[in-house]
Chains A and B, each alone.
Chain A
Amino acid sequence: MPTSFIQPEFKVKIDYDKCHKCGRCVQQCGWGVYSFNERPIPDDSKCRACHRCVTYCPAHCITIEKNTLAYRENDNWSPDARKAVWRQAETGGVLLTSMGNPKPYQRIFDHLVLDACQVTNPSIDPLREPMELRTFLGSKPDSVQVESDGNGGFKLAEGEGMHNNVKLDTPIIFSPMSYGSVSLNVHKSLAMAATRLGTLMNTGEGGLHADLYPYQDNVIVQVASGRFGVNPDYLNRGAAIEIKIGQGAKPGIGGHLPGEKINKEVSGTRMIPQGTDAISPAPHHDIYSIEDLRQLIYALKEASGYKPVGVKIAAVHNVAAIASGIVRAGADYVYLDGFKGGTGAAPQVIRDHIGIPIEIAIAVVDQRLRDEGIRNNASIIAAGSIRSSADVAKAIALGADVVAIGSASLMALGCHLCQSCHTGSCSWGITTQKPELTRRIDPEWGAEQLVNLVHAWSHEVQEILGALGVNAVESLRGSRERLRSIGLDEQTCKILGVKPAGM
């Protein structure tokens, strides 16, 4: 019997005429593709097309090609569907994967276009005029009450005004990714970048390593179902606290960080014994209803001196009503994670088939909160495949206050979306705890890459605002009048609150 029906997905080709025989590819590959016998010999079946070897080959003599093996044509049984059956027949297990949903669902962002000013109102040149991106994350009152300051001016009335908001210099923050799923150097890169950018990184559910304490004012600390690393000190260090209910890539599913990844540092940060599996239950076992959530929100506020407490949920069918409940339960922000959001590990069937697009989720949640008159009570963070500054602008125009980027930020650190985070052997040193791999990321360099990316996107958002003739991001937020759709059906347009182009 063959050991597997499944043939390699990629072919590794080396131009031996050019090859220096230096062995760097052998050393760089985290998957063990190469062996060395006078020259590098690739094992195609192990290749993930992460391009680490290609990038580091001094002779540029490696190419990775798709294995173009022909399958008898069948539109119903795609090669991927066949391979999944074979793999499960071999292993009897749930198919694991990582990063975001790669299936060819409609990408709504790509069917939305933005407006610009011509003649009747002027566009604004962001190179000459101020173009403000400052955003406040948190709950705002419905009105501002003032009283006379006795000198002809005004001051806030006692206890009035905006409290406990986090100031962001750009409406782009980093998504939660736990220490454990990513390396400490990745966490450091994110924290340093967030501090320099005046924005936020998010611990994810793995606790806050002591090395990140200097950056704690730019960190959201997460409280997830496993409660890893949660203690009063942790809660008081963050700029805000986030209760993680769900994740776009795996709504309704818990998490499992295998014991091999729980080294000494991870163990200390997560407050669990070294080498034990870190299992996050699917639900929080103290949250079985919305009133339980309210209790946890207020417990966290009490424990932290009333820091903003947000709630992260996966975008699912009933997201508007759920978000409304969350805001009424006292959350300062709702974090919506769309079904294309990434993950460090998830069952493929869940990742690819559960949840709804983030564009829809933003639109219905923003509208519901407005209909109920509670939109000012909470900010909306949107995530789940924000791929460019255009997506940022469109998400904000649909109604998000802030967007969070996960996959894009990892790509800034080298991620090539090979969807193998769950293996723990990331050649780029991102989603691994192996010291020989994690040291591939220098946090200084990583921070610079991330700062560059967010700066670039922020500048582009400023260009978009200028074209729209507004000079502050709050004038774009929720301004769906500045969006038009191309090629979306009428019902989707209605749900998005966006007119088709030409109207």
Chain B
Amino acid sequence: MTTRPRYREESSFKIHGGCGLMGICDESGELMSGEDAILAMAVQHDRGNGLGGGFAGYGIYPEFADHFCFHMMYHDLRAKEETEAYFDQHFLLDLAEPMPTRPVKGITDAPLLWRYFMQPYPNKLEESEMSGEDYVVRAVMSINASIDGAFVASSGKNMGAFKGVGYPEEIGHYFRLEEYEGHTWTGHNRFPTNTPGWWGGAHPFALLDWTIVHNGEISSYGINSRYLEQFGYKCTLGTDTEVAAYLFDLLLRRHKLPLSLACKALASPLWDEIDRMPKDEQDVMRSLRAVYGPGMLNGPFAIVLGFNGGMVALNDRIKLRPLVAARKGTKIMVASEESAIRAVMAEPDLVWTPKAGEPVIARVKGMDWPIHGDLHLPPSEISCAVTGTEQSCDSVEVNA
């Protein structure tokens, strides 16, 4: 049996593509089934080409809320055995089971799909002198980098990513998402214009409880990736989504910017607008633009960042990709097309088109901030965890 292509090999060229996306969050923390997310993506069927679909659900594993849940993809049994041996060594495993799936027309060539609810071995964790989050990221990095044919689809607490090659509604039904209940869901429909992807290449793109779905192409990718490299991130996937994910990590976790300002740095207002702002705000924005200019995401995109506690949807600075938002009661929903919203929310209280660069932020009441919990690892390890290229981690971080 041949092994799966390494993520890097899939994309030695920059991946171009269009896509559709959705996100829904109940700010009261009330749970909803995955059915709505599937429906919202089914309505947007034509935004993809059947080469990738996926979902992320939050609050879906309340019985294991304190466990890290690994959603695994294995190309073969050997990869599974190797990975499980690794888990045995490093984690206290409370439940390991195949992902519940059902046969769906159109879904073929599925890898072996398993999920594991685990906690780091207390003594190992203590030995490592790391936080649980750091420990998990290291584990993700080791598996993606060194176990051929194994890929971690998600690794957060009380959440999971469900993705694969197919249309999103097929993927959703395949994973039986209607049987899950979560307070936040995001979904994605992929239209890659390069070679057909593999299951791990579909969105959402996830690390710990953090997921990103993304529609667009970032025309500033070249400078964004060089900027990130300065801080130790390794952009090896060649996807725009990757730079967006690392930029959020840099601004939110490392530079500790508030979410609203991080969004303003990534999709900056025009100078004309900044010049008209009140003095204090103008000073902040001038500095943000001048300092984070190389990180500004320029070109068409709409993005939904999901985390345990809500989601944020963001459009590029001149709105070159669609993004519609709506509110009904405590529910906030975003989607590429209003039809998706209307299909899920009968008679919403408010439907609006978020302005360019104006983030739509949904926060579940009473849930913690910041996202990513107690993570301290340097960027090189974060990016290596995602890209699965261990050898690229040897460089010394120059600007922690």
- Give the residue among A132, A145, A475 with the most B Cβ atoms within 10 A: A475
Does B298 count as interface, using CB distance less than 8 angstroms?
A: yes
Closest to A169 in B: B271
Across the interface, which residues of A come within 8 angstroms of B299, CB to CB? Answer: 117, 121, 469-470, 475
Taken together as a complex, chains A and B put the C-alpha atoms of A153 and B284 apart, in Å, by 10
**Number of contacts between A and B (CB, 8 Å)?**
137
B257:A475 contact, CB within 8 angstroms: no
What's the tally of chain B residues with a CB closer than 8 Å to chain A? 52
8 Å CB interface, A340-395 against B: 370-373, 375-376
Across the interface, which residues of A come within 8 angstroms of B398, CB to CB? Answer: 371-373
Which listed segment binds B: A154-162, A290-298, A300-308? A154-162
Interface string of A469-483 (1 = CB under 8 A from B): 111101111111110
B223:A129 contact, CB within 8 angstroms: no
Does A143 count as interface, using CB distance less than 8 angstroms?
A: yes
B287:A477 contact, CB within 8 angstroms: no
8 Å CB interface, B211-250 against A: 216-217, 219-223, 225-227, 229-231
What distance in Å separates the Cβ of A119 from its nearest Cβ neighbour in chain B? 8
Across the interface, which residues of A come within 8 angstroms of B14, CB to CB? Answer: 481
Does B126 count as interface, using CB distance less than 8 angstroms?
A: no
Across the interface, which residues of A come within 8 angstroms of B347, CB to CB? Answer: none
Closest to B280 in A: A155
Taken together as a complex, chains A and B put the C-alpha atoms of A141 and B283 apart, in Å, by 14
Taken together as a complex, chains A and B put the C-alpha atoms of A8 and B219 apart, in Å, by 55
Closest to B300 in A: A121
Which listed segment binds A: B73-81, B288-296, B326-334? B288-296
Does B88 count as interface, using CB distance less than 8 angstroms?
A: no
Does A90 count as interface, using CB distance less than 8 angstroms?
A: no
Instruction: Select which of B255, B291, B317 is within 8 A of A162 by beta carbon.
Output: B291
B284:A470 contact, CB within 8 angstroms: no
Taken together as a complex, chains A and B put the C-alpha atoms of A155 and B226 apart, in Å, by 29
Taken together as a complex, chains A and B put the C-alpha atoms of A132 and B286 apart, in Å, by 14
What distance in Å separates the Cβ of A141 from its nearest Cβ neighbour in chain B? 6
Does B261 count as interface, using CB distance less than 8 angstroms?
A: yes
Across the interface, which residues of B come within 8 angstroms of A489, CB to CB? Answer: none
Across the interface, which residues of A come within 8 angstroms of B92, CB to CB? Answer: none
Q: Could you give 30 example pairs across A and B, Cβ below 8 Å? A: A117-B219, A120-B217, A121-B299, A129-B318, A134-B271, A142-B291, A142-B399, A143-B255, A144-B265, A145-B256, A146-B258, A154-B284, A161-B283, A162-B290, A162-B291, A371-B398, A373-B398, A470-B220, A471-B317, A472-B296, A474-B294, A474-B296, A475-B293, A475-B299, A478-B223, A478-B226, A479-B220, A479-B223, A479-B226, A481-B223
A146:B290 contact, CB within 8 angstroms: no
- Give the residue among A120, A122, A132, A469 with the most B Cβ atoms within 10 A: A120
Across the interface, which residues of B come within 8 angstroms of A376, CB to CB? Answer: 291
A156:B258 contact, CB within 8 angstroms: no
Does B95 count as interface, using CB distance less than 8 angstroms?
A: no
Given A154-B260, A156-B287, A470-B298, 12 extra CB contacts under 8 A:
A142-B399, A145-B256, A155-B283, A162-B290, A471-B298, A472-B298, A474-B296, A478-B222, A478-B226, A479-B222, A479-B226, A480-B222
Interface string of B373-400 (1 = CB under 8 A from A): 0000000000000000000000000110
Does B281 count as interface, using CB distance less than 8 angstroms?
A: yes
What distance in Å separates the Cβ of A484 from its nearest Cβ neighbour in chain B? 12
Taken together as a complex, chains A and B put the C-alpha atoms of A142 and B222 apart, in Å, by 19
Instruction: Select which of A117, A155, A165, A468 is within 8 A of B290 by beta carbon.
Output: A165
8 Å CB interface, B28-68 against A: none
Instruction: Select which of B18, B230, B281 is within 8 A of A120 by beta carbon.
Output: B18
What distance in Å separates the Cβ of B38 from its nearest Cβ neighbour in chain A? 27
Q: A120-B18, A155-B283 are in contact. Are A477 and B223 (CB under 8 A)?
A: yes
B223:A475 contact, CB within 8 angstroms: yes
Across the A-B interface, the 5 shortest Cβ-Cβ residue pairs = A481-B222, A373-B399, A474-B293, A479-B222, A475-B298
